[in-house]
Amino acid sequence: MTEVRDTAPARVTPMMEQYVEIKTANPDSLLFYRMGDFYELFFEDAEIASRTLGITLTKRGKHLGEDIPMCGVPVERADDYLQRLIAAGHRVAVCEQTEDPKEAKKRGAKSVVRRDVVRLVTPGTLTEDALLEPRRANLLVAVARARAETGGFAFGLAHVDVSTGAFAVGEAAAETIGAALARLDPAEILVPEALVAELAPATAETRAAVTPAARDLTDPARADARLAGHFGVATADAFGALTRAELTAAATVVGYLERTQLASRPPLARPVREGRGATMEIDAATRANLELTRTLGGDREGSLLSVIDACVTAGGSRLLASRLAGPLTDVAAIARRHDAVEAFVEAPDRRRAVRAALRAAPDLARAAQRIAFGRGGPRDLAAIRDALKAAEQLAARIDGLAEEGAEIAGVASTLARADHALARDLKAALADDLPLLKRDGGFVRPGASRELDEARSLRDESRKVIAQLQAGYADATDVRTLRIKHNNVLGYFIEVPQQHGERLLKPPHGETFVHRQTMAGAMRFTTTELGDLERRIGEAGDTALKLELDLFETLAARVSAGWDGLAACAGALAVLDVTAGLAEVAVDCGHARPHLDASLDFKLEGARHPVVERALKSAGKPFVPNDVALSEPELDAGLVQLVTGPNMGGKSTYLRQAALCAVLAQAGAFVPAKAAHIGVVDRLYSRVGAADDLARGRSTFMVEMVETAAILNTAGPRSLVILDEIGRGTATFDGLSIAWAAIEHLHEVNRCRSLFATHFHELTALARRLGRLRNATVRVKEWKGEVVFLHEVAPGVADRSYGIQVAKLAGLPPSVVRRAKAVLDELEAADRASPVERMIDDLPLFAATRPKPEAGPDPLAEALDAIDPDELTPKGALEALYRLKALQKE
């Protein structure tokens, strides 16, 4: 990143020589070079940081004859600046002083304090609260590719949340790698250098920083040894039957952490394998369209997650986001989650008590991780204390709430096994008011350590001790004006008026009082006793802090030793919070438990869009619920429902709420409907709305076609597809043709449950020949020339689009509205003269998919042409007829 020219024959200061050496070893990172109470940046690093952070760029001396650009940030506020630099896409190498400056001076007056990089700060390796979003996981994902056993290539994905230690691995096919990354929503992705370009389309769908991984990190031959070595086991087989791609990805992420964390190694849970197909596959475009965890603008507020997140802990919110991003496909696992939610729905008093206790539980997972990682402080110990206390209370409150083996029963068992002895010891050791940093001291409760109390007493009561000593000397010398004072040069000293000072130089006082300085009108002395007291007072603060830090390390060691149990307890608290929160939402918003099974059914009774419903409720308006039926008992495949109706009638809301109900149901939540029967959806597709993708040179229509192509090429019978206004981005007949062909493909090839909204009313006639196509329309009424949107969806077709009425409501000039109506009347008259509907009966289904043979000799036609009827005998005519029939069969 920074080019430091050091080849010219010019003098380089020892400090700058050290800087150049360290910077050269970290060329791709901004170097935070510790100098006293500041992290300084030099050369191009300083210019970049100055622009990004908005801080003053200064100069410090010269290097090779040129001024050295410099800027700095205080160590105390480094986290704030790191957060901004990381958010801007930079990596930062933190270079600390690794020895005391006093030790450096012993080597010579011009000796430079030893420094070294202790940590590389990257988007995926953050642990500090100030750098993290409390309610969002911060995942580091590694991608690896290997040849699959079934042939071809498979991609391994390993993801770690360094802030909690969670670790999981999985595998994805080439065509689903983008969807897999979109589900994880990582902060940073490690991609093998050779695959960066190939995977650019998939990684671009996320907001993650992409870090090319060096070949030595992604070498499959070293994977087993690296992963096993990190966890201290003989072989990676201890983690189960990982595929080669999964093993390589896991080893890559572990190797990257070892390389970036340098001074310490983060504790990680053993990798959990996520099977293929365990979650509903949702591609990046669909996630964006449905706004599952954030809006199209990138905000959390306004997303589905923001509406259903009633969690009272940060860990609960992170788990809920993960469940919403990856809804399950296993019916039994989904049912266990629904059972847990239902248990809390039916026990309102216990639900309220549990949520009240959870509010007192801090973020145990991140606090324990920071302590075990060596980056924690006193407040993290207090967070562990309070979370364990809450766990103890909660274990009793949920005991017996569910049957043995149910999810809540497992949570209760985990909470009951938490280290409550550690909680009691932390309570006994920690003070009520705690500093942020352990180096500030004062976090140990008085009475916790007799030795510490004595050191503190000497440190805190030094004034009283000095006053007593001063009174004793005044009595002994009979000098009432004797004072013990302090300055930074002499330290503590005794000061008396000069006339009394002359007397102190003589016996019997001369042996006790040692002369130090004569002033105008005063003399200064010291004594052995005062010098000893000064030393002890000076050491008392250091001694007290050392004793506190020793106690901190003892408690931290206990946290590290019990990290696995604390992580399990944190997970149980999160599950409990999610479950109780979803129950709260279900009760407050009138959500119902869905019936999930392995069928192809999809029926919603009185379904609602949860985000739109909340917005309308805030405005004092009701939401109009609608039924959705995409299956019928006698059919062996899903229905295609063609929805017509005016703009602003609610078609897009109707489509989206069906998809959101499927997501919520399979995530383990109740759904915004009176009743729901959903056959598990394996893949969810949504093409609702589009925008230009100028960065890739794609128009709105091209984006629409790319997304539609992905759906038609990959959707299967268990998929749920919602498509809105396909073909509207091009010429009318082009668009109509594309929409027509897409519906036929969904019906005949994909055979999936589909909702297809359109303004091409001509398509409704397809219901006459497509057996699983059903028409539905959004109802409207006209009243005194005005259109009234009822937002009700009913069987049938729309008579027109009411586009001009909507334009009038939008405020188009009256002259434009009148002219539009006149043009519409003329166009409709012309269209009636040449209706498109007759094509429905005349055009064979999928005719375009069975291309006619190229023009060439037709043996039947040639044989027929060769016959002269006038020359045929009755027998010859019969033989010719047989020959023609034989040719026809060929």
Which residue positions form the known binding site for ATP? 645-652
**In 3D, which of 177, 171, 221 has the Cα closest to residue 195?**
177
Q: Which two tokens stand for residue 509?
A: 């006082």
151 close to 161: Cβ distance less than 8 angstroms:
no
What is the phi/psi pair of residue 789, to 5°? -85, 120
Would you list which residues are annotated within the binding site? 645-652
Task: Give the C-alpha separation, 585 to 589, whole Å.
Answer: 6
Residue with tokens 């009595």: 475
CA distances from 220 to 83, 224, 251, 740, 765 (A): 34, 8, 8, 49, 57
3-state secondary structure of 763: helix
Closest CA to 326 of 159, 552, 520: 159
End-to-end CA distance of the chain: 73
List Cβ neighbours of 262 (8 Å cut-off, separation of 6 or more): 117, 118, 119, 120
State both tokens at 832: 């009636």
Q: What pairs with residue 30 in β-bridges? A: 92
Query: Cα dist. 206→126, 201, 299, 505, 771 in Å?
Result: 18, 10, 15, 82, 40
- Rounded CA separation 841/61 (Å): 86
Residue 569 CA to residue 561 CA, distance in Å, equals 14
From 674, 676, 702, 678, select the one nearest 690 (Cα to Cα): 702
What letter represents residue 638's amino acid? G
**DSSP conformation class of 328:** B
Give the separation between CA 790 and CA 775, rounded to whole angstroms. 18
Is residue 95 a contact partner of residue 30, using CB atoms and an 8 Å limit? no
Distance (Å, whole) CA 205 – CA 200: 9
Q: Which secondary-structure segment (H or E) carries 786?
A: strand 786-795
Residues 6+ apart with CB under 8 A from 816: 807
